[in-house]
A and B are shown apart, each in its own frame.
Chain A
Amino acid sequence: ETGVTQTPRHLVMGMTNKKSLKCEQHLGHNAMYWYKQSAKKPLELMFVYNFKEQTENNSVPSRFSPECPNSSHLFLHLHTLQPEDSALYLCASSQVEEQETQYFGPGTRLLVL
């Protein structure tokens, strides 16, 4: 248990569906991250939020829409996804000033049919 929770843990959706992934951190951190992990590819950073402000968007398609309402919660809204978007989506948090460790949630395994 790292103090970062993600729901749902598994999600199957059609290409026309809209769904949201949720991440919550109980560590008092001020930065949160979304990563995508596909089979046989390195972990890809998608979005970064520092103090609730988005500071990174690594050329992620607009069908992925992040939302950070406060420093403890992070959402990833999904709509009109493609089968190649099937992956493990990992959320992480850290304390920016400490230049240190990121704490990861268990991930949401997403399958797009």
Chain B
Amino acid sequence: SQQGEEDPQALSIQEGENATMNCSYKTSINNLQWYRQNSGRGLVHLILIRSNEREKHSGRLRVTLDTSKKSSSLLITASRAADTASYFCALEDAGNMLTFGGGTRLMVKP
């Protein structure tokens, strides 16, 4: 199984700004998912994008997937202090197993 690599590892922005996180991977995937984790808590699913999709939206979240570059990005628009958390990409392979990346720690300052 492969692991996604997230970039940046940490991001600090002001409230109201947009936050962009990237995930790169090496082999083929069924889908790519983004999860959020508040400090010391469980992960919460945010959005899933399938390998045949290029872009998906959910509220203030926008996810893109470029299978030719094997990369995905998560954009959070008009960020809020409550968006402070770690964000993980997870790759689902042909065996339906999820492998998580190391995460991006996002800090949104009020």
Interface assignment of B60: CB less than 8 Å from any CB of chain A: no
Map CB proximity to A onto B72-106 as digits: 1 under 8 Å, 0 otherwise.
Answer: 00000000000000001010100011111111000
Q: A90, B43: Cβ atoms under 8 Å?
A: yes
Interface assignment of B20: CB less than 8 Å from any CB of chain A: no
Which of A42, A45, A100, A107 interacts with B101 by CB under 8 Å? A42
Which of B33, B97, B103 interacts with A42 by CB under 8 Å? B103
Which residues of A, 82-105, contact B by the 8 Å Cβ criterion?
88, 90, 92, 96, 99-105
Interface assignment of B64: CB less than 8 Å from any CB of chain A: no
Interface assignment of A4: CB less than 8 Å from any CB of chain B: yes
Using A2-B44, A43-B100, A103-B45 as known contacts, list a sample of 6 further A-B pairs with CB atoms less than 8 Å apart, ordered by residue number in A: A2-B42, A6-B42, A43-B88, A101-B45, A102-B45, A104-B44
Q: Given the known A-B contacts A42-B101, A42-B102, A100-B48, are A4 and B3 also in contact in the complex, defined by CB atoms under 8 Å?
A: no
Which residues of B, 25-80, contact A by the 8 Å Cβ criterion?
30-31, 33, 35, 40-45, 48
Which of B43, B101, B102, B103 interacts with A104 by CB under 8 Å? B43
Complex interface: chain B residues within 8 A of A103 (CB): 45
**Bound: A28/B88 CA distance, A:** 25
Tally chain A residues at the interface, Cβ within 8 Å. 23
Q: A42, B100: Cβ atoms under 8 Å?
A: yes
**Interface residue ranges, B against A (CB under 8 Å):** 3, 30-31, 33, 35, 40-45, 48, 88, 90, 92, 96-103
**Bound: A7/B94 CA distance, A:** 32
Complex interface: chain B residues within 8 A of A81 (CB): none
12 pairs, A vs B, C-beta closer than 8 Å: A2-B44, A6-B42, A43-B88, A45-B99, A90-B42, A96-B96, A99-B31, A101-B45, A103-B45, A104-B35, A105-B42, A106-B41
Q: With both chains docked as a complex, state the minimum distance between the C-beta of A82 and any C-beta of chain B, in angstroms.
A: 21
Complex interface: chain A residues within 8 A of B90 (CB): 102
Q: A99, B96: Cβ atoms under 8 Å?
A: yes
Interface assignment of A56: CB less than 8 Å from any CB of chain B: yes
Complex interface: chain B residues within 8 A of A104 (CB): 35, 42-44
